[in-house]
């Protein structure tokens, strides 16, 4: 491979931008598209009341799917019934017993929302804030304003694995907006402007079926791949939120240039599209395939972590 | 005060119980009331699409409201723009920069769902599981099955502080189901069977307006207080989920016996009512007072922490 | 293998015991042998002033040697020069900059002293304290009294790897007190009563030379192996402290019965011999082999962790 | 107070420097003075074999003395006898039980050694390394080389509190090298070139006798105060290590300029004097006052934390 050019050069000076579109103080980007009208559109998608939660297990003793270099969370008991067999348990009038626990966790070490300030290039994060505002915690475009807003709207699930007749897409396998449109058509659903976009690749399910050494070997997740047309499609469709069952929502290395994660830059940093990663979409996808209803009310709210780069989350789909 | 009798004696052998009602393997208790029909009832409560998120800030540098003895979460940067000014930042092809952070946290140290196995007496947790199943992590009735299910239904907010003409209820101030009914009537809303019950006391708002030494001095939160009739009301109303803006959802010390947290036992352990604590209800309450609509679609999903005693959460109310 | 009998049965009811020898409140066991006279004996061993520190690296990015199931420590920066490139760094009059960091760690996840209450069987820890005193933290025989005392005396190094002509002993390879005596004789040094005993197997050096998967595959460390005679030797020699370059100071599975770690019970719990594990003895051993001096002043002091089961430590040998 | 000038200006361009004195790659500074000869001098100070450990308790449930903004360590049990009353405890052949624990800690949140790269000004740390080398962990002048070396030599204790007839020095109270010399003379001991210098103020003892609110109110520790003559005295005396029973080894705010911690810069950054803070010197001082012997063999070794800014430590004095 020849040397990868800088991301800014790959995307080009005229790459689509939403900076300033919602004012100089905006920190939630394309989530601004989720107006009350979009909430009501999501509500109208509900037919049966079936609900699905989309988080993976957190703190699984056998290991959680995380980006290389991060660790899964460590959970420790502070108090449990064993504590009351000793002499150091708290004593309350009436004699209540209780259990308490404590965790250490990477904020991006499980199913999670990224703050818009999570990635950047050329010294500026989303909306043109100085990258130095990330130092010591995100003063700007942190997860907090996203958590304050909450994400509610019409979600639509595109099952790329099922569309391609696979249990899961292969390492490095790519697709783009035209594939999404084709899959949607095959599913009989339409991706509408301002839809919350969920894409299933099966890759997180693959994590749970193979030894972790196999999962991480030659790490290169399948996923969406960069093209100018794809970025324009996201801009024109006003997609507020991209949700996948991979760790990083896009093919890890863009095949043509070798660039790592250019869509994080083109979509999140430049257009303000919020990313939601490491979801588990198996049950939702199976149900949609069965009843033919691929859209739903989507609700999610990351934790209100002050200055956070992201937050674990357990999104809900209501059909 | 005379010596407090054991909780089991206070509640009595014939206290209302839901153990076994949903089978011997049930772990979500009264959340079973939230059937698809209840989800649809919640959806029908949506009128305008206004949304409110109900979590407090987490990791606030000036301190978070926590039960005495717990600490607020500690958040640390792993990587930020400062890291890239040195020589140890990760290098990706294309030159992406990013921010990453790490927290330590009590799972019950912010707005949070309790697992049904969080409190107990007489050696048994909800549904009769042995209290020893809590040892080393909750094998039974942990937060995981609640997180798998998700909580969706019709929520109704009772604003006890506003009803009593106060900014916040005082330390040790109590109320019961009759007060809730009276306040509901005054608000022009009805608590219906299977409603998700949210109660505002203003006490968490009080936390943010006074020095912490004042907040914790003579710690005795205001809240619901135990009576047999109140427990029967929760059973008969089939309340699935009790949500308040206090740290422990009930008056800390029941005034008559001095017993600590008897409703945790009577409602959570015995009836399987899920508790959600430390919510911030100020904006939702202000809006309800303004437009007169006190019910809404309530959605929440704690994190899928394996064997967890509880989990931070950011609930959403959609009006 | 036939089923392993319980440890108490393997050791026998008449196994050597030091309980009560230093009174009913003793918590430091055989360290009591280290009187001022022994300190002076250690001091007299100093010849040249050469010093060696015996800890392994802690928080090595490529991983630390730990007992399976533990993790190496996670170190995070709180403040560094990068922080001062942003706007959230602390500002002091005069403009001092500084660096600060934070760790999570298993107290026994690096070179470490074990508290005497670290292991037990039959419901009692060292000196007959109830095992329930370990619950929620060691109320008895914690690392604190050992840390208060400090360990100072004459140390003697036995290089079993060198004695057997190997770079490191093999997995499951054993030796006993007769081998120690023979090696000492070959080295020209004597293990005297009350000597602090250091044994080099080369096994921690092996950790750093092979992939971790190889190190942990079929995990069975080389080391001392149980026999009644060996336990009596430790008792009669009044060994205060056993120090090795393995994770657990003895062969993991005693070959005859398959019992895990019986010497932790026979020596630590019953005789009160303090264990120091995961040391790095390569440089000290090389120097001793070169100058023929195998004894020295040994000083070490674990951290004064209240109720701790153990503590990281960096022992010093002064020749 | 008028505005404090920058530290570099206060110290002046001609302030004493040891940069380069031990080569361009040196990372242990004045500890280089501790040659084998100095070790032997320390050994010769031993008379009786009495030993004293100098660390404060770590993880005290009532709180540890820490610099404002840091927290004491949080200790959690991973396994204890309570765990074995449940079904999730590890099972070993033979049935051994054990206890295991886990901590979170600021590396400088207890008795501790500072790395020489811990503080700086004007963009350079000790020996002229770029301050950017601190980013993401200290690549240069970390605690690791100090821990590799270990600190062994002749220690001398100066009891300033006793000299001034006080239980503890008052907030903001200062003293300098002439006071040290006068106190030494009064004690009948001499501070010799290359002595390891321990100073008792009683201030950490004060921490344990008053409410923490009183200790931290108007935080301004007593201690050594800056003057050019004092810095020259440290340089000329070739003091390798300064140890006190305060959190920061010097008066917090230099009275004349208001500058915070100028000696950290003048002594640590410029001369490479290692700082050891938050020691407990009460028992050692009482014994020295009783037997009149104020010098001893001092040994200490911080933990070998890779890239660490400092490390907890439990020093030993052997008389």
C-alpha dihedral (C200, C205, C211, C215), degrees to nearest 10? 10
How many separate helices (H) and strands (E) can be counted in chain A? Answer: 11, 15
For C248-263, what is each residue's pLDDT tens digit?
Answer: 999 999 999 999 999 9
Give the model's confidence band at B2: pLDDT under 50 very low, under 70 low, under 90 confident, else very high: low
Average pLDDT along chain B? 97
H runs (alpha helix) in chain C: 7-11, 36-44, 143-149, 160-163, 177-187, 203-207, 212-216, 228-237, 262-263, 282-291
Q: Please, are residues D125 and D309 in contact by the beta-carbon 8 Å criterion? A: no
Q: What is d(CA A62, CA A87) in angstroms, rounded to the nearest whole number? A: 33
CA distance A26 to chain B (A): 18
Give the ipTM of the model, two decimals please: 0.98
| pLDDT score of C69 more than 90 | no
pLDDT the model gives residue A69 = 86
* Band (D2; pLDDT cuts 50, 70, 90): low
pTM over 0.90? The answer is yes
Helix, strand or coil, per DSSP, at residue C295: strand
Q: Which of C78, C81, C86 sits opposite B76 (nearest CB)?
A: C78
How, if at all, do strands B295-300 and B241-244 pair?
Answer: unpaired
Minimum mean pLDDT range among A64-78, C11-25, C48-62, D229-243: A64-78
Percent of chain D with pLDDT over 90: 97
The arithmetic mean of pLDDT across residues C11-32, rounded, is 98
pLDDT of the residue at D9: 96
- CA dist D301 and C112 (Å) reads 13
Which residues partner with A5 through β-bridges?
none
Structure token pair of residue A317:
């789909």
CA distances from C122 to B172, C18, C126, D84, D94 (A): 47, 16, 11, 12, 11
CA angle centred on B181, ends B179 and B185, rounded to 5°:
115
Is D94 part of the contact surface with chain B (CB cutoff 8 Å)?
no
Closest partner residue to D150 (CB to CB) among C53, C77, C302 is C53
Separation in Å, CA of A175 to nearest CA in chain D:
36
What is the percentage of chain D residues whose pLDDT exceeds 70?
99
Please write the tens of the pLDDT for every residue from D261-278.
999 999 999 999 999 999
What pLDDT, on the 0 to 100 scale, is given for residue B1? 47
Rounded Cα distance between C227 and D189, Å, is: 53
Comparing C-alpha atoms, which of C2, C316, C36, C290 is closest to residue C149?
C36
Instruction: Note the pLDDT of residue B136.
Output: 96
Q: How many CB contacts within 8 angstroms connect chain C with chain D?
A: 322
pLDDT at A29: 98
Residue of chain C whose Cα is closest to the Cα of B78: C76
Give the Cα separation of A314 and A306 in Å (integer).
19
* Among chain A residues, CA nearest to D80: A82
Q: Is B194 left (phi over 0), alpha (psi -120 to 50) or beta?
A: left
Q: What three-state secondary structure class fits D104?
A: strand
User: What integer is the mean pLDDT of C106-125?
Assistant: 97
> What is the distance between the alpha carbons of residues D47 and A266, in angstroms, rounded to a whole number?
73
Q: Is the pLDDT of residue D35 over 60?
A: yes
Which two tokens mark C132?
Answer: 């329930």
Check residue D1 and give its pLDDT: 47
Task: Write the DSSP string, D107-127.
Answer: TTSSSEEEPTTSEEBTTB-GG
Q: How far apart are CA A311 and CA A313, in angstroms?
A: 6
Residues C313/C111, Cβ–Cβ less than 8 Å: yes
When mean pLDDT is compared across A59-68, C218-227, D131-140, the lowest value belongs to A59-68
Confidence of residue B3 (pLDDT cuts 50, 70, 90): confident
The pair phi, psi for residue B264, each rounded to 5°, is -55, -40
Average pLDDT for C41-56: 98
Task: Give pLDDT, residue C3.
Answer: 87
What SS3 state is found at A148? helix
Quote the CA–CA distance of B254 and C157 in Å, as a whole number: 64
Of D76, D83, D85, the CB nearest to A78: D76
Q: What average pLDDT score do residues A262-270 get?
A: 98
- Whether the predicted pLDDT of C86 surpasses 60: yes
pLDDT above 70 for C104: yes
Q: Residues 137..196 of B with a Cβ closer than 8 Å to A: which?
A: 137-138, 144, 147-150, 152
Question: Which residue from A77, D44, A108 is spatially nearest to B309, judged by alpha carbons?
Answer: A77
Q: Is B132 on the interface with A (CB under 8 A)?
A: yes
Per-residue pLDDT tens over the stretch A122-169: 999 999 999 999 999 999 999 999 999 999 999 999 999 999 999 999
Q: What is the pLDDT of residue A2?
A: 61
Does residue B137 carry a pLDDT above 70?
yes
C-alpha closest to that of D39 among C163, C201, C52 = C52
Q: By the CB < 8 Å criterion, does D102 face chain A?
A: yes
Strands B151-159 and B112-114: unpaired
Structure tokens at C210: 């092979």
**Element containing residue D241 per DSSP (H, E):** strand D241-244
Tokens found for residue C176? 């006993």
Q: What is the mean pLDDT of residues D148-177?
A: 98
Secondary structure letter of residue D269 according to DSSP: I
Cα(A161)–Cα(B192) distance, rounded to whole angstroms?
A: 43
pLDDT tens for each residue of B58-109 = 999 889 999 998 988 999 999 999 999 999 999 999 999 999 999 999 999 9
pLDDT digit string (tens) for A165-223?
999 999 999 999 999 999 999 999 999 999 999 999 999 999 999 999 999 999 999 99
Minimal Cβ distance to D83: which of B88, B104, B136: B136
Cβ-defined contact of C137 to A87 (cutoff 8 Å): no
Q: Is A267 helix (H, G, I), strand (E, B) or coil?
A: helix
Interchain contact B309–D (C-beta under 8 A): no
Tokens of C138: 């060691």
- For residue D50, give both structure tokens: 């009495």
Q: Measured between beta carbons, which residues in chain A are less than 8 angstroms from residue D90?
A: none
Cβ-Cβ contacts under 8 Å, C70 against chain D: 100
Helices (H) and strands (E) in chain D, counts: 11, 15
Contacts with D292 (C-beta within 8 Å, 6 or more apart), sequence order:
D188
The H or E element spanning position C152 is strand C151-159
Share of chain A above pLDDT 70, in %: 99
Task: Answer yes or no: is pLDDT of B17 > 50.
Answer: yes
For residue A225, the 8-state DSSP code is: -
> Best of A60, A263, A314, A316 to disrupt the B interface by mutation (most B CBs within 10 Å)?
A314
Is residue C74 less than 8 Å (CB to CB) from chain B?
Answer: yes
Q: Which residue has the tokens 């007496």?
A: B121
pLDDT tens column, D188-203: 999 999 999 999 999 9
Average pLDDT over residues C90-117: 96
Residue C211 reports pLDDT greater than 80? yes
Q: Which residue of A has its CA nearest to C140?
A: A87
Residue D98 and residue C120: Cβ atoms within 8 Å? Answer: yes
SS3 sequence of chain B: CCCCCCHHHHHCCCCCCCCCCCCCCCCCHHHHHCCHHHHHHHHHCCCCCCEEECCCCECCCCCCCCCECECCCEEEEEECCCHHHCCCCCCCCCCCEECEEEEEEECCCCCEEECCCCEEECCECHHHCEHHHHCCCCCCCCHHHHHHHCEEEEEEEEEHHHHCCCCCCCCCCEECHHHHHHHHHHHCCCCCCCCEEEEECCHHHHHCCCCHHHHHCCCCCCEECCCHHHHHHHHHHCCCEEEECCCCCCCCECCCCCCECHHHHHHHHHHCCEEEECCCCHHHHHHHHHHCCCEEEEEECCCCECCCCEEECCCEEEC
Residue C1: pLDDT band by 50, 70, 90 thresholds? very low
Verify whether the Cβ–Cβ distance D87 to B132 is below 8 Å.
Answer: yes
Partner B contacted by C86 (CB < 8 A): yes
Is A77 touching D (CB cutoff 8 A)?
A: yes
Give the pLDDT confidence of B157-198 residue by residue, as tens digits. 999 999 999 999 999 999 999 999 999 999 999 999 999 999
Interface test with D, best of B61, B86, B142 (most D CBs within 10 A): B86
Distance from CA of B84 to the nearest CA of D (A): 8
Pairing of strands D51-53, C174-175: unpaired
Sign of CA dihedral B279, B283, B284, B285: positive
The answer to whether the CB atoms of C74 and A71 lie below 8 A apart is yes
**C272: phi then psi, degrees, rounded to nearest 5:** 75, 25
Q: Is C82 on the interface with B (CB under 8 A)?
A: yes
Using a pLDDT cut of 70, give the percent of chain C over it. 99
DSSP C269: I
The Cα of C251 is separated from the nearest Cα of chain D by a number of Å equal to: 13
To the nearest whole angstrom, how far is the Cα of C93 from the nearest Cα of chain D? 5
Q: How large is the average pLDDT for residues D16-40?
A: 98
């Amino acid at each position: 491979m020849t040397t990868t050019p800088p991301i800014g050069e790959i995307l080009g000076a005229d790459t689509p931008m939403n900076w300033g579109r919602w004012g100089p103080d905006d920190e939630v980007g394309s989530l601004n598209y989720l107006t009350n009208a979009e909430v009501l559109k999501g509500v109208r998608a509900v037919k049966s009341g079936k609900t699905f939660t989309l988080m993976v297990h957190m703190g699984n003793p056998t290991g959680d799917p995380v980006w290389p270099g991060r660790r899964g969370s460590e959970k420790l008991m502070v108090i449990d019934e064993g504590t009351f067999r000793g002499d150091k348990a708290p004593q309350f009038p009436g004699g209540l017993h209780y259990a308490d626990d404590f965790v250490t966790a990477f904020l991006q070490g499980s199913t999670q929302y990224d703050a818009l300030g999570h990635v950047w290039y050329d010294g500026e994060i989303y909306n043109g804030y100085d990258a130095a505002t990330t130092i010591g915690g995100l003063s700007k475009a942190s997860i907090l304003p996203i958590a304050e807003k909450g994400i509610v709207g019409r979600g639509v699930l595109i099952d790329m694995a099922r569309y391609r007749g696979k249990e899961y897409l292969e390492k490095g396998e790519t697709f783009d907006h035209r594939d999404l449109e084709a899959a949607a058509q095959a599913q009989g659903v339409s991706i509408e402007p301002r839809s919350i976009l969920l894409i299933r690749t099966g890759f997180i399910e693959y994590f749970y079926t193979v030894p972790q050494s196999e999962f991480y070997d030659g790490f290169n997740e399948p996923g969406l791949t960069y093209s100018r047309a794809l970025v324009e499609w996201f801009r024109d469709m006003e997609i507020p939120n991209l949700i996948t069952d991979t760790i990083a929502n896009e093919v890890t290395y863009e095949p043509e240039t070798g660039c790592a994660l250019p869509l994080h830059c083109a979509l999140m940093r430049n257009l303000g599209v919020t990313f939601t990663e490491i979801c588990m979409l198996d049950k939702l996808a199976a149900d949609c395939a069965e009843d033919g209803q691929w859209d739903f009310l989507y609700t999610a709210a990351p934790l209100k972590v002050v200055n956070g780069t992201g937050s674990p989350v357990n999104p809900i789909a209501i059909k």
